[in-house]
Structure 1
């Protein structure tokens, strides 16, 4: 039975669909990454607002005490 498409045409069509699939997957991956970033930014901001000042204050106080005692690393 004869093939409907030549090898060259079949190869070109396969390549074109492969490029389309790659483009769709790449764009959707970026879109998903952007979505995750957009979701995480407010969560991270809230966490930092809630925790960073206390953490920095505690670490600075500990460093001041270490320096005041004449301690080294």
Structure 2
């Protein structure tokens, strides 16, 4: 099975919840720049980071990215 990481869905998930990158940064202790880097696919999240973000957004880790 060959699974590829697609685009980050953070922007979509935040919009659906009416939350901002600043809110997520404050909830997770990350910088807004790091959240922006993930949202714009400049960086990929580690598993621990993905878990922290998924807990803050009340979603599954798989929801953070599209998968190909």
* TM-score bracket for this pair, using the shorter chain length: under 0.3
Structure with the bigger RCO (C-alpha within 8 Å, sep 6+) is: 2
Higher strand share: 2
Higher helix share: 1
Higher-Rg structure is 1
**TM-score, length of structure 1 as denominator length:** 0.19
